[in-house]
Chains A and B, each alone.
Chain A
Amino acid sequence: MTIRYESQKVALPYIQISLLLFLLQIAMGLWLAVNYAFTLPQWLVDAFSFATARAIHTNLLVAWLLLGFMGGAYFILPVECERELFSTKLAYIQLGLFVLAAVTAVVGFLFGWTQGKPLLEIPVPLDLVIVVAALIFIANVLLTVIGAKRRSVLQWMLVGGVVFLALLYLLGIPFYRSLNADYYYWWWVIHLWVEGAWELITASIVAFVILQVTGIERQVVEKWLYVETGLFLFTGIVGTGHHYYWIGSPDYWLWWGGIFSALEPIPIALMVVDTWLHVRRRRNTMVNRLTWIYIIGLAIYHFLGAGVWGFIHTLPPVNYYTHGSQITVSHGHMAFFGAYVLLNLTVFYYALPQFKSIRRYQEKLGQWGFWTMAVSMFFLCLVFGVAGILQTYLERFLDIGYSTAQMTMMFWFKAALFFGAIFLVGAVMTVYHLFTLRPAPEAAA
């Protein structure tokens, strides 16, 4: 298989930069685990604090995932619209601006240049650069879709997701005098991104990949897409309320937030079902087994991390004890890995062979990469979970104090460091494999 439209090539640098940032993100994550597992000397803490490292870890996450989404969107749009992208030049300018903002932000964090809001630390001047890049992206996507030779649900779902994503980002920029309102709108960015806008974008991209790889009828895939995204938004929007239990808000949030967020696993479960059905009823033969493993792995881990792990602590009586603990860390890692990391990698495994006109690629190293990452991430989240249960039980049930609880947890962070290091090995294998894809001998097929 080879790329069908010249302009799809802009996706390549997006994907490559994205993968490099992914590795940096994990390296920074290991450093965070070191901070938890050991007592560090004061001079080191002064020079490079946990706060700075965490800002870099989380911002790299957002940056590489978004770069992957944008690259993915640019890769699928020409095929889906049966035309070249509106402008490849704009796409390169956008990439330049985005990378410039991301690199400046990370360097700025090292020197204490920050907006000081978790996950949204990027200072306002750089926010504006990102807004410009986002506007270019929206314009490029929209103008490509408007001139499409064929209309599809998927195109508009993608446009909707992209516009929704950009609009929500704006809410994180202003200074709020009240911390209570600050966090109210902070969740419009964070929650409505991952349980709203991002789901729209990724659901459309996954639908496209499934359509192409399995050869299932478009009508069937698009019907599932409508139902799933509809349920995602139905449960996800009011489900934002599960973050409002303890910020100082009216009591009804306990009910609205609790009930709607408890329903959030349903669309994800449907996604598992439809992926399974589509793969079983496929019309195409399985050319690259690894790409299929990624599609199925994505559905399962998405359900496990976002669905099950999320459900476990979403109800108010449980959340009262688990809120703001390592339980959240466990859920966060599994959910991001399941819903978005695997999605990006699925798209990359679908797209990258086409740049090299490879139909069937050698997949052994990629297999090792996938299983190493999948297994170590599972254990990493178990370890975070154990630390979280200890923390919750010791500090909030037995009431024996913060430092006693944290010191008991240090052992589990040594374990987290161990599994994190294994995850890094898996990620390095995967990234190296993606950069050096080689055709497999066809005779073995």
Chain B
Amino acid sequence: MTKKAAKSIFWVGTLMSAGIFIWLTVDFHRQEPAYANTDRITEQVVAGKKVWHKYNCNDCHTILGFGGYYAPDMTKAYYRLGPNNIVAIVMEPEKVYKDSFRKMPKLGLTRREAEDLVEFLHWVADIENRHWPPQDEKYVRAARLREKEPHKLQKVDIVLGACGGCHSFENQGRDIAGDFGDIAKETQYDRDTLVRYILNPTSVNPDSGMPPQNVSPETAELIADFILGLK
């Protein structure tokens, strides 16, 4: 090969690739509104994104799969945990993860910051990203069905979708607040009390660390039946 040929390989290769890349970048911006719902980026979403940066969340948690691998991915966290749980976790991680094998630092967020963060995570969770991460798809599906067609849901889906962010059942979900099998054995509550507890835990037990759950009373009844049925 002559040096001239080598030189043309360099220039042709580089310019061709750069050309394709720039063309695809232009198209990415053209299509971005459809994939990322950019029209739904409100000032609160932007404020939430600033909270996300301010506390350097991304060096422990991945989002869209990027960042630190030390803590769970946050892409679909809105559906996995629900807004109340997210607020409870980021404001009082030392309580939520008291017995966890891995701790989250107490960051000192204000309630306002926590709520902005929730709005940001809600927007992120609706990005059309080809159903990634795979392990959170069940929560996304369950959350959407819960909103629209609750009759189509299986009980176990509801329970895991709503509670799996903190409770486990038959090895599924995250066991930081107890397994439903154990809870069913130990609980003294009757059905009505359990329903009230799910909707507003401190109204039943002032010492409870569990945040109020974002589920309808009907769903709360379903969950209560499920748990009591495990006795």
Contacts and interface: CB of A to CB of B under 8 A. Distances in A.
B32 A180 contact: yes
Interface string A224-261: 10110111011111101101111111101100100010
Contacts, number: 224
A184 B29 CA distance: 10
Interface string B63-104: 111111111110000000000000000000010000011111
A321 B13 CA distance: 31
B20 A238 contact: yes
A86 to B, nearest CB: 26
Interface residues on chain B, size class: 35 or more
B204 to A, nearest CB: 26
Contacts of A55: 56, 59
Interface of A: 35-36, 39-42, 45-46, 49-52, 54-55, 112, 114-118, 121, 153, 175, 177-181, 183-184, 186, 219, 222-224, 226-227, 229-231, 233-238, 240-241, 243-250, 252-253, 256, 260, 320-321, 323-326, 328-329, 395-396, 399-404, 406-407, 410
Contacts of B56: 49, 51-52, 55, 112, 114, 116, 121
B57 A116 contact: yes
B133 interface: yes
Contacts of B60: 49-51, 54
A115 B103 contact: no
Contacts of A46: 94, 105-106
A323 B133 CA distance: 8
23 contacts: A39-B102, A42-B103, A46-B106, A54-B60, A54-B70, A117-B53, A118-B58, A177-B41, A181-B36, A226-B7, A227-B9, A230-B9, A231-B9, A233-B10, A233-B17, A237-B20, A238-B21, A246-B130, A249-B31, A249-B129, A320-B132, A399-B135, A401-B168
Nearest to A245: B130
B134 A320 contact: yes
B7 A402 contact: no
Contacts of A236: 17
Nearest to A321: B134
Interface in B199-222: none
Interface string B118-131: 00100010011110
B12 to A, nearest CB: 8
B137 to A, nearest CB: 10
Interface in B11-25: 11-14, 16-18, 20-21, 24-25
A239 B42 CA distance: 33
B129 A247 contact: yes
Given A42-B94, A183-B64, A401 B10 contact: no
Interface in B163-201: 164, 168, 171-176
A241 to B, nearest CB: 7
A54 B59 contact: yes
Contacts of B129: 246-249
A249 B65 CA distance: 14
Contacts of A41: 103
Contacts of B134: 320-321, 396
B105 A49 contact: yes
Given A238-B24, A402-B72, 7 more contacts: A42-B94, A54-B59, A245-B132, A248-B129, A321-B134, A324-B73, A410-B101
